Amino acid sequence: QGTAPCGVGAIQVFLSSFLSFLALAASYTDSSDDEVSPREKQQTNSKGSSNFCVKNIKQAEFGRREIEIAEQDMSALISLRKRAQGEKPLAGAKIVGCTHITAQTAVLIETLCALGAQCRWSACNIYSTQNEVAAALAEAGVAVFAWKGESEDDFWWCIDRCVNMDGWQANMILDDGGDLTHWVYKKYPNVFKKIRGIVEESVTGVHRLYQLSKAGKLCVPAMNVNDSVTKQKFDNLYCCRESILDGLKRTTDVMFGGKQVVVCGYGEVGKGCCAALKALGAIVYITEIDPICALQACMDGFRVVKLNEVIRQVDVVITCTGNKNVVTREHLDRMKNSCIVCNMGHSNTEIDVTSLRTPELTWERVRSQVDHVIWPDGKRVVLLAEGRLLNLSCSTVPTFVLSITATTQALALIELYNAPEGRYKQDVYLLPKKMDEYVASLHLPSFDAHLTELTDDQAKYLGLNKNGPFKPNYYR
């Protein structure tokens, strides 16, 4: 379903939950009950409600602890809750949601509830649900339908259970990947027509919305959260700066100092990777197709080369292009022994992994997410995550970054729900710059950062409102 944009994107929550799961598995696994499908279980929470379907409601307490930990790094949402204690800007909102279900989304969902909304929730990925978090949500009264390891059939069943409920009709959609939106659009056209707004955060989901809009079939205003400034900057540049080191270290324990690395692509993702690697003492080469990015790479102190020029000498190859077949079998054949190959770009097409699945090459799984591909002469190439996103598979995403996305989603919902008739037509909208700025401002206290305010005189001189927006809408 929902696929991530270049960078870490929303789907990365997957990993976070995956790792947490691993770390905590021992405490809550109840293997005896692993065999039974949640759909067949009878469960009630402590208040007697059965309006949910999760793996094991007994894990609720454990999940609550995870949510509390997440809350500590999501103070923007907590402060939203506080500001909206009096007025409930989402009073009356009936939100149906479909996202990864993790501690971080739980903080979002509970914030929406605190703002007055009723929520029904399913998972946008069959593997990414943190079962104990789902349990905690269910215990707290959220109608959540999700577990780790759903079948395809389970997946749609869960979505349907969210939408199809007697006496409750959704008027808002929060989606990640577009599956929920598509389901409502197809199966419940009457519900769809009365939706007041859709908030979508994935590249794929946004793409689907634009297509619907183009085809004249989008009868609801939708907000494209994916392309908001703060999300782009944080999810790509800053987040990759952190996760490239982490992903490489956790999988290979490689020493960065003195390593020769080639990074394919010098967009925001590539820039983040390069900054971190250079800072830790690696010697970084860039490949680029775009002369403007190439010129930036030059000015930033990187040699811009063709992959062939350096492929024999480099210790690490990282793809960040959004393109396909950037690293071909021919390149792989020429790499030196022990060369590490991984992908930080948008999908698993950048490295031609398929070309490695041939009889003359031996694959050896040496660690989780780490394969040695062995040539007949003994040369080994170290392939990470089978060419899938490294930061999705082998590192974590800081809760703080997820907080920015979640806050943006919450604000987009509030805006669409409360917008006066006519402000939004049946189209896909970018977040107004002012709201982007508001999201940013909510995250400044974490850094103890103090904004300066314009004087009246200065605002007049600049032709700006003292409260923003400070940037033109085309700024990114």
Residues from 39 through 68 that contact its own copies (CB under 8 A) = 65
Unique residue bearing structure tokens 């859709």: 198
378 CB neighbour count, 10 Å cutoff:
8
Q: Which residues ranging from 68 to 87 are in contact with its own copies (CB under 8 A)?
A: 69, 72-73
The site string for its own copies over 363-402 (x = CB under 8 A, - otherwise) reads ---xxx-----------x--------------xx-xxxx-
**Residue 231 labeled ligand binder:** yes
Q: With contact defined as beta carbons under 8 Å apart, do 23 and 15 qualify?
A: no
Which stretch in 83-91, 98-106, 110-118, 299-307 sits in contact with its own copies by CB under 8 A?
299-307
Q: Which residues ranging from 427 to 446 are in contact with its own copies (CB under 8 A)?
A: 436-438, 440-441, 443-444, 446
The nearest distance, CB 119 to its own copies, in angstroms, is 26
**Residue 468 labeled ligand binder:** no
- Which of residues 42, 152, 450, 456 is near its own copies by CB under 8 A? 450
Torsion sign across C-alpha atoms 251, 252, 258, 260? negative
Q: Is 439 helix (H, G, I), strand (E, B) or coil?
A: helix
Q: Which residues ranging from 246 to 265 are in contact with its own copies (CB under 8 A)?
A: 246, 249-250, 253-258, 260
- Which of residues 155, 302, 417, 429 is near its own copies by CB under 8 A? 302
- What gap in Å lies between CA 438 and CA 195, rounded to an integer? 25
Q: With contact defined as beta carbons under 8 Å apart, do 465 and 434 qualify?
A: no
By CB under 8 A, residue 16 contacts its own copies: yes
Q: Which residues ranging from 134 to 163 are in contact with its own copies (CB under 8 A)?
A: none
| Whole-number Cα distances in Å, 182 to 176, 186, 426, 460, 474 | 11, 6, 16, 47, 30
The nearest distance, CB 182 to its own copies, in angstroms, is 23
**Residue 288 labeled ligand binder:** yes
Which stretch in 90-98, 114-122, 131-139, 360-368 sits in contact with its own copies by CB under 8 A?
360-368
- Which of residues 295, 330, 423, 427 is near its own copies by CB under 8 A? 295
99 Cβ contact list (under 8 Å, min separation 6): 10, 13, 105, 108, 121, 123, 124, 174, 175, 176
- What gap in Å lies between CA 21 and CA 278, rounded to an integer? 33
351 Cβ contact list (under 8 Å, min separation 6): 319, 326, 327, 341, 342, 343, 383, 387
- Which parts are annotated binding residues? 102, 176, 201, 231, 235, 267-272, 288, 391
